[in-house]
Amino acid sequence: MTEPDRPAATPLAGALRRAAPALLGYAAVRALGLLALAVWSAANGKSAHQLLSGRWDSLWYTRVAELGYGYEVRLPNGDVHSNLAFFPLLPWLERIGQAVTPLSYADTGLLVSAVASLAAAWGIFAVADHVHGRRAGICAALVWAVLPVGVVQLMAYSESLFTALAAWSLYAVLTGRWVTAGLLAAFAGLTRPVGAAVVAALWVAAITSFVGERRRGGSSPGTDGARLWRRALAMIIAPLGAAGYVLWVGHRTGGGPLGYLDVQAGWRNGFDGGYAFGRFVAEKFTSFPSALAGAALVVGVVLILSLYVTCVRQGQPPALLVYTGVVVALALCASSYFGSKPRLLLPAFPLLFPPARALARLRTSRSALVAGGVAVASAVYGAFWLNGSGPP
């Protein structure tokens, strides 16, 4: 008697099987981080759940989900902190989750971030796998997990949601799925202002792809026409999310197309080319104790720029270089909230491909030992950080 034929694995099942080591490794690192946070918080008489879901920006997102837009806080110095500064996709998902599950808005935010963080790790793996191979993809997901501020990936913040949308949009660009890339870019634009980086990457990739095909000569008029229209449609769709929200804010505030910038100005946030950040760093060198922090900031910026140069030298596709460049520029050149810059750099995952490739060249046992040691250090630091000042 012969065994019945087994159904062939679906493309999704095959992709999941290929990414399984990256996802399992990522989940293990995040579980270790949660354990460290729970132990540290309990020792300090604090709630790890509250730290993840009920402080800082998490409260603003929850208020948008519960009450809608229009809430603002007027500070004694005259600044106005309006919840219009926060893009709507995460609050929308929190509202939907609260309506269809017994979870609160805050707990729905945690669930969204947990699922999105896994999707982001998978997307990072997929991009790195496509560019540098499977082993580098696995290591890239692990390096993203063990970042010192990696604990933010599980907070009720929008970093994980945005990174997931950005990574999969870029993967769709790299594999020629233009309409999918445009749709994901539009959703990324509804998540964070830095969604402009995904749009810029898609536009550059679409234009360079078209120019490259013109130089090589097309295969047939019909095929070329279909590709052209898919690329054009993606370029039209991609900015609709961010542009739609920014224009809506301008209409609501009466500030016109630039009304969103007025909202950001109320938070003393804007883009000044890095002048304010440079002054902030320079002021650290006015006394000895703070000079150590200033030196660390300088080293950090130099490291980021060095990694970007390495990405260029290693031949990353233009889409990744444009995306990373815009994310880094917006993070480092913002005029306020200097303590938030590390988490603002979380979506710049292509910067991690050079160290991921280096880790991938080690023997499996040695790379596991290195990743494990860094994961423990990251978990301890994350617990310490959230129990202290934490992310602004």
pLDDT at 5: 46
Name the nearest CA neighbour of 384 among 45, 44, 30, 27: 44
For the chain, the average pLDDT equals 93
The answer for residues whose C-beta is within 8 angstroms of residue 356's C-beta and 6 or more apart is 128, 132, 136, 137, 139, 140, 142, 143
Fill in the amino acid letter for 259: G
Name the nearest CA neighbour of 153 among 19, 20, 345: 345
Rounded-to-integer distance, Cα 143 and Cα 371, Å: 8
User: What's the pLDDT tens digit per position in 359-381?
Assistant: 999 999 999 999 999 999 999 99
Flag the least confident range among 177-181, 182-186, 273-277.
Answer: 273-277
pLDDT confidence tier of residue 173, bands split at 50, 70 and 90: very high
Question: What DSSP string describes 337-374?
Answer: -GGGHHHHTTT-GGGGHHHHHHHHTS-HHHHHHHHHHH
Q: Which residue has the tokens 């870019």?
A: 185
Rounded-to-integer distance, Cα 272 and Cα 274, Å: 5
For the chain, the structural domain boundaries read: 21-386
User: What's the pLDDT tens digit per position in 89-114?
Assistant: 999 999 999 999 999 999 999 999 99
User: What's the pLDDT tens digit per position in 207-222?
Assistant: 999 888 777 765 555 5
Rounded-to-integer distance, Cα 162 and Cα 152, Å: 12
For the cut 50, the answer to whether the pLDDT of residue 2 exceeds it is no
User: What's the pLDDT tens digit per position in 296-306?
Assistant: 999 999 999 99
For the cut 90, the answer to whether the pLDDT of residue 57 exceeds it is yes
Query: Mean pLDDT: which of 11-20, 220-229, 231-240 is highest?
Result: 231-240
The answer for residues whose C-beta is within 8 angstroms of residue 45's C-beta and 6 or more apart is none
pLDDT at 4: 44
pLDDT at 390: 81
- Please report, rounded to a whole number, the percentage of residues in the chain having pLDDT higher than 70: 96
